[in-house]
Amino acid sequence: MTTEETMRFADHFWNTDICDFTGFEIICQRLQKGRRFVKDYAEFLKQRAQAEEAYGNSLVKVAKSAGGRYEIGTLRQAWEVILNQTELVGLTYLNNAHQLNKEKTRILEFVENLNKRSKDRACQTREANNVKRQKYKQLQEEKRTYYMRCRESASYSDYLKEETEKQNSQQKEFEMIVQKHKNAVQMMSDAKDTYCKNLESFEEYCKEWEKKMEDTCETFQVLEAERIFFLKDSMWSTAYMFSSLHLNGKESFKEIKKGLENIVAATDLDLFIRQKQTGTVRPETFRFQPYEDQENFEAAGSPSTFLKLKILSMRKFLSLSPKQSLSDVNKEGNSSNTTEVFPTSKPIDMTDCLMAINNEYESFDLEEESKPTDGQFFRVLYEYKSENESVISVLEKDVVRLLRKENNEWWEVETKDGRQGYFPANYLEPSICSPTEET
């Protein structure tokens, strides 16, 4: 397979969600498992060297301690050759053990260097991921503020229209409402400008993040190919050592040679991509979403419907009857049979009214989708090892029960052995089986 035909990490480990970095984490896990294999290989050479050294020392000892030195003639000469060759074989084993230890040291130095290079790049990318996540969170807050200001402005506009159509509205109160409406429009405009400014900044950072993610994928693929080539070369060297020590060494070497000749880095990398790829579609650009296009806003009905709900809530907050206006409240404020809502000496502040009832509608358009479904079961997509006491480690394919959604990134779960803690949400997929049924 030529280099041009090799599949690229940078083309196959993307996620469409803006703050989903599962593809990156999968590649990190692949490199982690690769480094673990290198260490396992080094441990094999260490144990093989110990066995060769022990056997070599035994042969040398046997050759030197053997009797029969009293024999004479040609038989004595033949016996000396056997002893010398036995000692020579033992020394060969000892030399082989020394070479294996040197190779083990070289491998451990390689994996340490590999670990440093991959860790540095992974830390930089994770930091970029966190910055992106924080910027997106800030952008959502600005969007939320913008929508709230739009609701306030629309409510003032609708109420101003309602008061305009009434003939009994006092001039002073009408002017106050006009000014409040003007202020609300200005605050809406300011909130929109802030939202758009942060949106532009976020879009620019997304481009930088995407470039960094692509560079990281390319670097990780180079490191993985380098690891495979290094191990292949090392295995060739050790195979030659093994073949020179045994009667059937040549036959054994032929079998090892077949296996080593089949090692192709590009093939292994392509296999990993086909098995673990998350997608080729990159995250969509976050677009400006006008208030009128908000999905939950449309679900509530037409703008006028939503405004009527706001007006009704305002009336409820002020203890108004359906036929009363704000001016009626001030007229009746000193009446003996009416509770004074606001003193007549101080105009009613519409902003206070709106802010007081705003929480009643927060869940209407922001929290409905975030309600946790306690007791739901999820399957673990990838093994996760934690070094934090509050975050639990879970094996791949295990089933956990959801306890609480802390946020969209970390969920509190319970494992089948009763352990509870936080776990990354993007490592989970819904499961119809409980941990007991899965077992």
Reply yes or no on whether the pLDDT at 73 is more than 70: yes
Tell me, what's the pLDDT at 424?
A: 84
> Where does the pLDDT of residue 435 fall: very low under 50, low under 70, confident under 90, or very high at 90 and above?
low
**Assigned token pair, 40:** 């396992």
Distance CA(125)–CA(106), nearest Å, equals 29
Reply yes or no on whether the pLDDT at 294 is more than 60: no
- The count of C-alpha atoms lying within 13 angstroms of the C-alpha of 100, restricted to the half-sphere facing its C-beta, is 24
Contact 209, 128 (CB under 8 A): yes
Q: 274 Cβ partners below 8 Å, 6+ apart?
A: 7
- 324 and 425 belong to one structural domain: no
pLDDT 10s digits, 54-64 = 999 999 999 99
pLDDT 10s digits, 168-196 = 556 666 677 778 878 888 888 898 899 89
Contact 394, 384 (CB under 8 A): yes
pLDDT 10s digits, 103-118 = 999 999 999 999 999 9
pLDDT 10s digits, 231-280 = 999 999 888 877 766 655 566 777 888 888 889 999 999 999 999 999 99
- The count of C-alpha atoms lying within 13 angstroms of the C-alpha of 343, restricted to the half-sphere facing its C-beta, is 2
Reply yes or no on whether the pLDDT at 421 is more than 50: yes
Lowest mean pLDDT among 11-15, 145-149, 158-162, 218-222: 158-162
pLDDT greater at residue 204 or residue 254: 204
* Containing structural domain, residue 347: 313-368
Tell me, what's the pLDDT at 406?
A: 66
Residue 290 lies in a domain: no
- 258 and 404 belong to one structural domain: no
Domain count across the chain: 3
Using a pLDDT cut of 70, give the percent of the chain over it.
Answer: 73
Reply yes or no on whether the pLDDT at 329 is more than 70: no
Tell me, what's the pLDDT at 228?
A: 95
Reply yes or no on whether the pLDDT at 1 is more than 80: no
Length of the chain counted residue by residue: 439
Helix (H, G, I), strand (E, B) or coil at 430: strand
- 386 and 425 belong to one structural domain: yes
- 393 and 256 belong to one structural domain: no
pLDDT greater at residue 348 or residue 395: 395
**Assigned token pair, 407:** 């946020």
- 331 and 397 belong to one structural domain: no
Tell me, what's the pLDDT at 62?
A: 94
pLDDT greater at residue 147 or residue 252: 147
- 245 and 117 belong to one structural domain: yes
CATH code at 386? 2.30.30.40
**Assigned token pair, 219:** 């670097």
Distance of CA 313 to the CA centre of its chain: 42
Distance of CA 399 to the CA centre of its chain: 19
- Kind plus residue range of the DSSP H or E element containing 420: strand 420-424
Lowest mean pLDDT among 109-113, 128-132, 337-341: 337-341
pLDDT 10s digits, 356-390 = 444 444 433 433 333 445 568 898 888 888 777 77
Reply yes or no on whether the pLDDT at 309 is more than 50: no
CATH code at 223? 1.20.1270.60
Tell me, what's the pLDDT at 120?
A: 92
Ramachandran angles phi, psi of 301, nearest 5°: 115, -165
Query: Sheet containing 428-431: which strands, arranged edge to edge?
Result: 420-424, 410-414, 399-405, 377-380, 428-431
- 251 and 134 belong to one structural domain: yes
Residue 223 lies in a domain: yes
Tell me, what's the pLDDT at 91?
A: 92
Tell me, what's the pLDDT at 297?
A: 42
Distance CA(180)–CA(347), nearest Å, equals 11
Residue 265 lies in a domain: yes
Residue 417 lies in a domain: yes
- 363 and 234 belong to one structural domain: no
- 53 and 124 belong to one structural domain: yes
**Assigned token pair, 88:** 């020579």
Residue 294 lies in a domain: no
Reply yes or no on whether the pLDDT at 419 is more than 70: yes
Ramachandran angles phi, psi of 391, nearest 5°: -110, 130
Distance CA(189)–CA(195), nearest Å, equals 10
- 111 and 226 belong to one structural domain: yes
Helix (H, G, I), strand (E, B) or coil at 381: coil
Eight-state DSSP code of residue 6: -
- 260 and 407 belong to one structural domain: no
**Mean pLDDT, all residues of the chain:** 78
- 248 and 321 belong to one structural domain: no
Distance CA(427)–CA(425), nearest Å, equals 5
